Amino acid sequence: MYPITIVDDFFPNPDKILEYCKTLEFQPDPRGQWPGKRTQTLEVLNPDLNNYICQRILRSWYHTYQMNWGAALNFQMVEPFHDDQYHIQNHGWVHVDDDVKFGGIIYLNKYPEPDTGTSIYEEHNGYAWCQPKDNDAQCKFYRGEPIKDEEYKESYDRFHSQYTETVRVSNVYNRMFCFNNQTPHGMQTFGKNQTRLTLAFFFHEVMGPNPPYHRC
């Protein structure tokens, strides 16, 4: 119900957001479901900022503030996993965001490295599935547990052989990029010499006027 959307110059003063982000504490996911570290949700850390950002995101499609929503917003940082930016360990895994209406990110690196944006993918056969051993390899790697390079590469290649990259969105400072919950996507690479910094958002519920595609 929500189209792929890109909004550049999303924050009027992104430097202030970046400054605030750098005061926060980041923690890894003990399950290894995603790479790097995230903060607590902004709803907990700073409810006013959380509501402000949610309203700005929703204003991409709605022309009213008379809405309710349920959303989780977290700052996320990811360090490169390998000295070679294009090593397989430095590539993101394709995934969809389950149990949400739509999700997305806001890029917060002032001078981002190339190929650190987000790509959209299409399943070759109209569907894709992740074998348990491939999911285990991903989670083990993201938890920092030992895993043989060959084992990781085999799982990564087997899973990603089901997809074709269709859209590449560049990492641009203060760019908002969002997509619906059925859109397979993944980080292009984690970079080489800097920490990839974003604000990730996931809208679980939106109560208000009909969503964009309904209105069309």
Over residues 90-95, mean pLDDT: 97
pLDDT tens digits for 27-69?
Answer: 999 999 999 999 999 999 999 999 999 999 999 888 766 789 9
Residue 214: per-residue pLDDT: 55
pTM: 0.94
Query: Which domains does the chain possess?
Result: 5-117+169-215 (2.60.120.620)
Q: Tell me how far apart the alpha carbons of residues 185 and 171 are, in angstroms, rounded to a whole number.
A: 14
User: In this predicted model, what pLDDT tens digit does every residue of 1-13 receive, in sequence order?
Assistant: 788 999 999 999 9
